[in-house]
Amino acid sequence: MVINTNLQAQNASTLLMQSSNKLSQSLARLSSGSKITSPADDSAGLAVSMKLGAQISRINAATNNVGNAISFSQTQDGYVQKVNDAFSRMSELSVLAQDVTKTTADRALYQQEFTALGSYINNVATKDFNGVSLFNGTTLNVTTDSEANTFSMVGINLSNTTYATATADDITSVSGANSALSDVKAAISQLASDRANIGSNEESLSYYSDQLASLKNNLSAANSRITDVDVASESTNYAKYNILVQSGTAMLAQANSLPQSVLKLLG
């Protein structure tokens, strides 16, 4: 039996320190909700989590880009619907102006409406979405994923020759009305093709949006498995380490009292 070196107390102190560290770690996890409260907890997992988190952030940005592009296409389609109504009325006026029972004055009234509708269409061609032209025919490349890959959104040009010719026609004569009818029919055909392109853009972008949402959910789940604490399991660990700390403290007190038994030998 020795006095200067109390091995039992040293061992008890080491075990108590280990239990205290584990208890502190468990408490930090439960209070933060995170399984990794310091790089030492899981350095490799932390590195993977950081990359997943950055990718999720990029996916959120791409989702916003795609959503705005869908809104852009929907705005285009809203205008194109009204342009189609205008061209339909212009084609009707072109036929009405060919009525042989109509006078020149009657056709002038038809021309007045025809011109107003043409001006409306020309005005629509100048519209923009947040400062970006809706109908200048420019193809827009929309970022669709976290790696900056893009989808080419086909542009619509309401100022092209087909539309410009139709809106500039004159139906104050039968021959002019006949020519205007051909031009307006061509414009309606072109508009149908352009609206089909808008619909195709919207459909493709919707698929990209769904794809991004699914990818984000999967990556978030993977990141959660790395970083999020299992409260039920960690609560069990906390209770265990709490008991070990209490029992370790008691045993350390007992170990520190052992050298006092030497006094009995001296007595």
CB atoms within 10 A of CB 245: 20
Query: So what's the pLDDT on residue 267?
Result: 59
pLDDT exceeds cutoff 60 at 201: yes
Query: Residue 5: its pLDDT value, please?
Result: 66
Residue range 101-111: mean pLDDT, rounded: 94
Give the HSE-up count for residue 263: Cα atoms under 13 Å, Cβ half-sphere: 5
pLDDT at 265: 66
Task: Note whether 99 and 177 are within 8 A (CB).
Answer: no
Query: Which residue type is seen at 86?
Result: A
- Taking alpha carbons only, the member of 135, 113, 124 closest to residue 194 is 135
Strand, coil or helix: 248 = helix
Who wins on pLDDT, 169 or 10?
169
pLDDT digits (tens, 9 = 90+) for 149-199: 999 999 999 999 999 999 999 999 999 999 999 999 999 999 999 999 999
Say which residue, 147 or 38, is predicted with more confidence: 147
In this prediction, residue 262 has a pLDDT band, given cuts at 50, 70 and 90, of low
Q: Is 29 left (phi over 0), alpha (psi -120 to 50) or beta?
A: alpha
- The answer on pLDDT for 1 being more than 60 is no
Phi, psi of 219 (to 5 degrees): -70, -40
Q: What is the 8-class DSSP label of residue 258?
A: G
Pick the residue with more confidence: 245 or 261? 245
Cβ atoms 73, 205 nearer than 8 A: yes
> Each residue of 54-100: pLDDT tens digit?
999 999 999 999 999 999 999 999 999 999 999 999 999 999 999 99
Residue 114 has pLDDT above 70, yes or no: yes
